[in-house]
Amino acid sequence: MFLSVRMVDLRKNLNNFARALFNMTEEKRSLNFIEQIIEEDLVEGLPQSSLRFRFPPEPNGYLHIGHAASICLNFGLGLRYGAPVNLRFDDTNPAKEEQEYVDAIMNDVKWLGFQWDKVLFSSDYFQQLFDWAVQLIKEGKAYVDQQSSDDIALQKGSPTTAGTDSPFRNRSVEENLSLFYKMKDGAFEEGSHVLRAKIDMQHVNMHMRDPIMYRILKKTHHRTGDDWCIYPMYDWTHGESDYIEQVSHSICTLEFKSHRDLYDWYVDQVYDKSLLRPKQREFARRNLSYTVMSKRKLLQLVEEGIVHGWDDPRMPTISGLRRRGYTPKAIRNFSEAAGISKRDNVADVALLEHCIKDDLNQTAPRVMAVLNPVKVIITNYPEESTEWLDAENNPEDEQAGSRKIPFSKELYIEREDFREVANKKFFRLKLGKEVRLKNAYIIKAESCVKDAQGEVVEIHCTYDPLSRSGSGTEESMRKVKGTLHWVSVAHAEKIAVRLYDRLFREEDPDGHKDKDFKEFINPDSLTVVEAYAEPSLQTATVLDRFQFQRLGYFCVDPDSTDTQKVFNRTVPLRDGWAKKDR
């Protein structure tokens, strides 16, 4: 059973690795479809110097791994074509937006390793958008509607039935202008009036059936304060902002595909032919298994205390992943490996985990820590004696050097690494058998002491003094089946370790119509244990990452204090989840 599970894990990892490798080489070989579109535009005469991209977050939450796909795509295009990329905050809804989010988003984009050309805000265009709206009214292309939102919705029709004209559709230009100015001046209550584009209530595309351009919101905006009480809708703002900034390719997610007609219509109303006309193109959202990705849902997890904030290491946010121990490189590699797609799909979280393991394998110093300790006493080792043994910091990196670790008579090993009796496949410590202690000696278990409950409290071992690793003796080369990690009791640093597991038990927590996503929360997503680590960890600082040998990758949490360090498990070395699935 144990062996077969291991093989499943191994196969899974290999599959993931192969897939990632395939995608990476694929990336080198061929362009993604967005790049193909750009290449075609260049062939058709668009000067490369006109290329300009943007990443347009709404500052109503923290960025997540899905946003990272868009960031890597847009900034990646910038790098590929030597084109500027703006960070544009799409801040048209004062009810949900905050400066805290603006700051966090800028921090995350920088941390991911990207540099924007300009930081811009849609709210900076409020006056321009208003002026253009006035122009549309004057041209008979927009009108003030004062029906309830329910009535407006009813008149929209359906994909198979045409809509119905509003009774206010044919107001005079003068009346519309006067009402629109009154809306702007705060003369009306929220919800009482809207400005609508006058397009076509019979249009096959429902977004073209007189969409709302402005609504009244008597809310303070995080940047414009109380200057405005009417705010432009997303569709009206987005294309015009792209046009103002002369963005050549406005890349958004698939759900906006049906908005493209409207995007074009709005741009065409103000388009000056001497300038560039931006082009909207869509790619599939990045989804990830075993999590949710909408900011609204992530906010719910935060507000209901299900997680400890946006940067909780269980969150799929960039800040959560950072705190969990993820590197920017691993996130970028994941984005690349998962690829840019035209169709909705779900990336396997195992691929993300593969990417961080792959990166940390190259870069993380190896150390020893024992999470579930039981004491080993080496009966033939001198009392009070300490040897400082050489230990390589990273076998994958020659430059990483080595350190000294203390060895003494009393050690901790993992409780799971000892059994009084076990079958032949148990290559760890059992009575009468030998194992090697990593970077140290071969020991043999002679006997054990148990408490009243029958739990082993001490294992008495003998060691072979000639078997020290690296000592060059014949015994030091002697092969024994198992190698265990360990920590010297007298020198151990007591640490707290947060063992994270997936936040959801279900692969697609969003995919059940009759069930709320929160029903699938994994109640065991966080376990905190007291552990012992080698003393070299005393100097570790916040966000330093390590491999705890044989266990996984861990990173120092900001909750660490002078008296106790806290470590987050980024990812175990082996995938324990497959075991639980069975």
Angle between helices 328-338 and 2-29 (to 10 degrees): 80
CB of 348 or CB of 458, closer to ligand ATP: 348
CB of 90 to Mg ion, least distance (A): 7
DSSP state of 160: S
Cβ proximity to ligand ATP, 64 vs 569, nearer residue: 64
Q: How far is CA 527 from the centre of its chain?
A: 21
Task: Provide the minimum distance between the beta carbon of 424 and Mg ion in the complex, in angstroms, as a whole number.
Answer: 58
Of the residues 32, 34, 38, 57, which one makes contact with ligand ATP according to CB under 6 A: 57
Q: Closer to ligand ATP by CB, 181 or 234: give it.
A: 234
The residue among 303 and 384 lying less far from ligand ATP, judged by its C-beta, is 303
CB of 116 to ligand ATP, least distance (A): 14
Identified binder of ligand ATP from the candidate list 285, 357, 366, 550, rule CB under 6 A: 285
The 3-state secondary structure of 261-288 reads: HHHHHHHHHHCCCCCCCCEEEEECCEEE
What CA dihedral angle connects 422, 424, 425 and 426, to 10 degrees?
40
Q: What is the footprint of ligand ATP within residues 234-263 (CB under 6 A)? A: 252-253
Which of 58, 175, 387, 420 is catalytic? The answer is: 58
CB of 88 to Mg ion, least distance (A): 12
At 77, is the secondary structure helix, strand, or coil? Answer: helix
**Nearer residue to Mg ion within complex by CB, 260 or 430:** 260
**Residue 58 near ligand ATP by CB under 6 A:** yes
Q: Which amino acid is at 341?
A: S
Binding site partner of 155, from ligand ATP, Mg ion, none, Cβ cut-off 5-8 A by kind: none
Q: How far apart are CA 582 and CA 573, in angstroms?
A: 19
Q: Which stretch binds ligand ATP (CB under 6 A): 5-13, 53-61, 96-104, 472-480?
A: 53-61
- Residue 576, CB-side half-sphere exposure with 13 Å CA sphere: 11
Pick the stretch among 50-58, 76-84, 183-191, 220-228 that binds ligand ATP (CB under 6 A). Answer: 50-58
Q: How many residues does the chain have?
A: 582
* Distance of alpha carbon 201 from alpha carbon 536, whole angstroms: 71
**Size of interface with ligand ATP, in residues (CB under 6 A):** 15
- Give me the catalytic one of 52, 171, 285, 314: 285
Q: How far apart are CA 72 and CA 54, in angstroms?
A: 11
Among 34, 53, 62, 67, binds ligand ATP (CB under 6 A): 67
Provide the token pair at 444.
Answer: 């043999």
Q: CB-wise, 292 or 489, nearer to Mg ion? A: 292
Tokens of 448: 């054990």
Measured distance CA(541)–CA(535) in Å, rounded: 14
Q: Are 410 and 488 in contact, with CB atoms under 8 Å apart?
A: yes
Single out the residue of 51, 56, 391, 533 in contact with ligand ATP (rule: CB under 6 A).
56
Return the one option of Mg ion, ligand ATP, none that residue 286 interacts with (CB less than 5 to 8 A, by type): ligand ATP
Alpha carbon distance 238, 251 (integer Å): 11
How many C-beta atoms lie closer than 10 Å to residue 127's C-beta?
A: 12
Active-site annotation holder among 295, 324, 332, 565? 295
CA 122 to chain centre: 25
Q: Which of 221, 286, 409, 428 binds ligand ATP (CB under 6 A)?
A: 286
For ligand ATP, the closer CB: 70 or 86: 70
List beta partners, residue 173: none
CA-based R_g, the chain, Å: 31
| Partner whose footprint covers residue 252, from Mg ion, ligand ATP, none (CB < 5 to 8 Å by kind) | ligand ATP
Strands (E), 13-63: 53-55
574 is catalytic: no
Per-residue buried b or exposed e for 422-447, using 16+ beta carbons within 10 Å of the residue's own CB = eeeebebbbbebbbbbbbbbbbbbee
Task: State the number of binding residues for Mg ion (CB under 5 A).
Answer: 1
| 338 vs 443 by CB, closer to ligand ATP | 338
The yes-or-no answer on residue 58 being catalytic is: yes
Among residues 212, 217, 293, 400, the one that binds ligand ATP under rule CB under 6 A: 293
SS3 460: strand
Residues 83-112 that bind ligand ATP (CB under 6 A): 90
Interaction pattern, residues 57-96, with Mg ion; x per rule: CB under 5 A: -x--------------------------------------
Do residues 382 and 409 make contact, with C-beta atoms less than 8 angstroms apart?
yes
Q: Can 285 be counted among the known catalytic residues?
A: yes
Count helices and strands (H / E) in the chain. Answer: 15, 29
Q: Which residues bind ligand ATP (CB under 6 A)?
A: 56-58, 66-67, 69-70, 90, 252-253, 285-286, 293-295
Show which residues are catalytic.
58, 285, 295
